[in-house]
Amino acid sequence: GAVVSQHPSWVICKSGTSVKIECRSLDFQATTMFWYRQFPKQSLMLMATSNEGSKATYEQGVEKDKFLINHASLTLSTLTVTSAHPEDSSFYICSARFSTRGIYEQYFGPGTRLTVT
């Protein structure tokens, strides 16, 4: 299957700092990228959807000014958690999607574990 990478795989930061997470599709061009968040023992929750070159669409309850998403190219999307707080500690997973002959395929990155102290 297609490969999606994320960097960093884990990060520990102090409260009030900003953290940038990169998501790359390595061997395909992703028309759409998704950002999910997963708290312990809970399901993945979609945070936002981004299409290359346009503004991200955020799910209800997700603050767009806190979680900045940039999808500058067909292979790279970034999520910046601004002024992180301990409650932002979570597992952040990106997913990249492309279509071939009308069939959509979606692949996940390995995730970034964020701990805010």
**What residues make contact with other proteins under the rule CB under 8 A?**
1, 34, 42-44, 46, 49, 57, 91, 93, 95, 97, 104, 106, 108-111, 113
Of the pair 44, 68, the CB lying nearest other proteins is at: 44
Of the pair 80, 98, the CB lying nearest other proteins is at: 98
**Minimum distance of other proteins from residue 84's CB (angstroms):** 20
Of the pair 75, 109, the CB lying nearest other proteins is at: 109
Of the pair 57, 73, the CB lying nearest other proteins is at: 57
**Minimum distance of other proteins from residue 62's CB (angstroms):** 13
The full 3-state SS of the chain, as one line of letters, equals CCCEEEECCEEEECCCCCEEEEEEECCCCCCEEEEEEECCCCCCEEEEEEECCCCCEECCCCCCCCEEEEEEECCEEEEEECCCCHHHCEEEEEEEEEEECCEEEEEECCCEEEEEC
From residue 27, alpha-carbon distances to 2, 32, 33, 89 in Å are 6, 15, 14, 30
**Minimum distance of other proteins from residue 83's CB (angstroms):** 26
**Minimum distance of other proteins from residue 4's CB (angstroms):** 9
